[in-house]
Amino acid sequence: MAFLDSPTRPGAPASGEDGAGIFRFSDLLRVGADRLALILTTATVIVAATIVALLLWPSTYSASTLVMLEQRVNNIAQNSSVLSSLPSDPVAVQNQIQILTSRDLAARVIADLKLYTDPEFAKPNAITGTLPSADAVIDNFERHLSVAAVGLSTTIQITFKSSDAAKSAKIANAIAQAYLAGEVSYQDEATRQTTSWLLDRIHALAHQVQAAEMAVQEYRARNDITDTEGGTSLIDQQLIAQSAALVQARSDLAQKEAISSHVSSMIAAGQGADVSQVVSSPLIIQLRTQEADLLRQEAQFSAKYGPRHPKMIELESQKQNLEDKIAQEAARIGGSAKNDVAVARANVGSLAASLKAMEKNASADSLKRVKLKALEANATSTRTMYEAFVTKLRETQGAIGMPPARIISTAAVPQQPSSPKRTLIAAASIPIGLLVGLLFALLAERAAPAMLYRLQPRRAPAPAVVTAAAPDPLRGTTVLGDIPDYESLRAADAVLDRPDDAYARAVDALLARLAPHTRGKGGKVIALTAADRNEGRSALAAALARAAAKKGLRAIVIDSDFQMPRVAQAMGLSQTDLGLQDVLSGTSPLSQSLARDTRTGAFLLSPARLHAPNGQFLSALPQLIAYLKRSFDLVIVDCPSPDYASPSRCFLPLSDAAVVLVRWQATPRAAVSQTIDTLKALRVPATGVVFAR
């Protein structure tokens, strides 16, 4: 049997539905070391292929033009513009981006620059030599074009990519110019269409205005409707004047009736001479003057003559004559007042009759004017509309075509290609190549069979069966058998989950050889150790305990690795607060320090804290082992390598047998020899070797 001083392959991790195979970083390092040549070869090939591809990859140049939507408004052209200014919200910016990326705009630029025969966009068919269709050229052109808004502003960036630096800048600027020209052309076309429509409407409205005004005049003439300069009808003016005259006549009548009544009452009372109208009469004034003279004479004669004097009698006769004349004049004035009343009453009646006739005419005229007002309103509205259209036409004819955007930065000829980023890609190919090489190494490791080890030395064929007489380095140690090389801690689950698996069968065979007849004959202590640190030892200890529990044996596992206990993890148990140190120191009873496997009922006594016990604690170890041998059928002690100066070495002399786990073609030969020599020096009763293949 030959061993290698350095490992050539790590153990294949067990794979199963329970996730027993756990691949750790140490395994990754071992795979990388074993297959370093494959990784470096793959990385070299990828880097070389990348460099060749970069050399063959044509360069692409990108040129960008910046166009900003105009937020300022031309005050001169605004009042006469047909289209309103563009809003500056994100939706409007996106609408302009759609225009810039439209096929129609691309077709105009392609036609202006004569790109339909450019090999970059219109590459001939390799077989027939025919040029592609116009739609195909446009599609290829738009694949080189990208348009995007710049941040939250109204600026739009037009970027064009081409294999020719000058061409990329030329096309980017041409797209911007075509966009602006198209917007101006759109405004001009809208203005032209609006002007044409306005002219048609104005001609139609002119005929409507003429017809409406003619209908108004014809209606006036047909119904004899006449208005004054102020716009008031003649009948209304006459009606107003007649009403005023009637009011005045009635006022005069009332006044004259009052005067006539007063005069009549004064005359009837014998006071006619006191009536103001009578007093103011010239005749009455003359008579009153004569009467005054007679009274003066009477006063003179009465002093000189007696009342029967002829002169006095004559004066009385003259006085009576004057009074009669005054009475007659008063009667005449009273009669005149009555005549004035009659005349005034007749005048009022005449005016009232005339006003009533005028009111009838006014009612008829009002009915006629209802339709006249409708005709005039129609004519007025039609003329107003006509004048508004004429005004709008004059404004439209003076409109100035202003683009809704402007170029704020023209595209310059790029000096460096935008793609590919040769330096970056070449630098990135190195780690990518290493990662791909590592992936290939892992795939190769995965594809290798789990039972990769063969009973063959590196340089000479190995014997078919390993016997107790095996030569160095086993030092004559008995080979107990072999098991699959499952390094994962959860390999112990395979004993329960996959009993027909090779690992489960190998564990059952090893258990039968180590403890063939243990039920009822006292317990047996088996120390399981290894020449190196690997998880396969702890997993095998848990698997042996579970296999024994399946057969009805009372089994317990003691994890004596105070620095890194792993059996609890192999059984899927959590670390307990009390453990092996507490039992040895006497601070905790054994019943409270044991953990029980939930799947089989096997027990576990594991260190609770990661520190080694002192010599005082170890002095109680023989009593503990003796007690466990009486209480259990099988006691399995998981011991780290005895080469290390650890307290776990104290468990080996107390064991009934020791088993050394050796990984085939992985454990160094010198380590195996040193471990077996150490076991012999510790006077372990019996020692056997189990190979993990």
Residue at 245: amino acid letter: A
**pLDDT tens-digit series, residues 626-664:** 899 888 999 999 988 886 667 778 888 888 889 988 888
Given CATH 1.25.40, say whether it is the number of domain 234-397: no
Separation in Å, CA 64 to CA 167, 175, 675: 12, 10, 75
pLDDT confidence bin for 473, thresholds 50/70/90: low
Is-cis flag, bond preceding 282, omega within 30?
A: no
Confidence of residue 14 (pLDDT cuts 50, 70, 90): very low
478-692 homologous superfamily: P-loop containing nucleotide triphosphate hydrolases (3.40.50.300)
Query: For the chain, what are the domain ranges?
Result: 35-57+420-447, 234-397, 478-692
d(CA 429, CA 475) in angstroms, rounded, equals 52
Whether residue 17 has pLDDT greater than 50: no
* Position 120 confidence tier, pLDDT thresholds 50, 70, 90: confident
> For residues 614 and 585, what is the distance between their CA atoms, to the nearest angstrom?
9
The three-class DSSP label of residue 10 is coil
Task: Quote the distance between the C-alpha of residue 655 and its chain's center.
Answer: 72
Question: What's this model's pTM, rounded to 2 decimal places?
Answer: 0.40
From 612, 684, 606, select the one nearest 652 (Cα to Cα). 684
d(CA 247, CA 251): 6
The CA-to-CA distance between both ends of the chain, in Å, stands at 13
Give the type of residue at 400. I
Provide the pLDDT for residue 12.
Answer: 37
Q: Is the pLDDT of residue 603 over 90?
A: yes
- Phi and psi angles of residue 333, each rounded to the nearest 5 degrees, phi first: -65, -40
Q: In which element (H, E) is residue 495 found?
A: helix 494-497
- Per-residue CA distances from 477 to 7, 256, 516, 660 (Å): 22, 170, 20, 10
Please report, as a single letter, which amino acid is at residue 382.
T
Reported as type and span, the H/E element at residue 117 is none
* Tens-digit pLDDT profile for residues 183-233: 888 887 887 888 888 888 888 888 888 888 888 788 777 776 766 655 566
Structure tokens at 343: 């005349």
Q: Report the pLDDT value the prediction gives residue 467, as an integer from 0 to 100.
A: 41
Asked whether 546 and 496 are in contact (CB, 8 A), the reply is yes
Q: If we measure between CA atoms, which residue out of 526, 525, 536 comes closest to residue 489?
A: 536
Judged against a pLDDT cut of 60, whether residue 22 lies above it is answered with no
Looking up tokens 């103001």 gives 276
More confident site: 345 or 44: 44
Retrieve residue 454's tokens. Answer: 């063969």
For 494, the token pair is: 């395979």
> Residue 560 — very low, low, confident or very high, per pLDDT cuts 50/70/90?
confident
Question: CA-to-CA distance for 46 and 429, rounded, in angstroms?
Answer: 7
**Closest to 588 in 3D by CA, of 622, 557, 617:** 617
Kindly list the strands in the beta sheet with 145-149, ordered across the sheet, starting from the edge strand earlier in the chain.
Answer: 145-149, 155-162, 61-69, 405-409
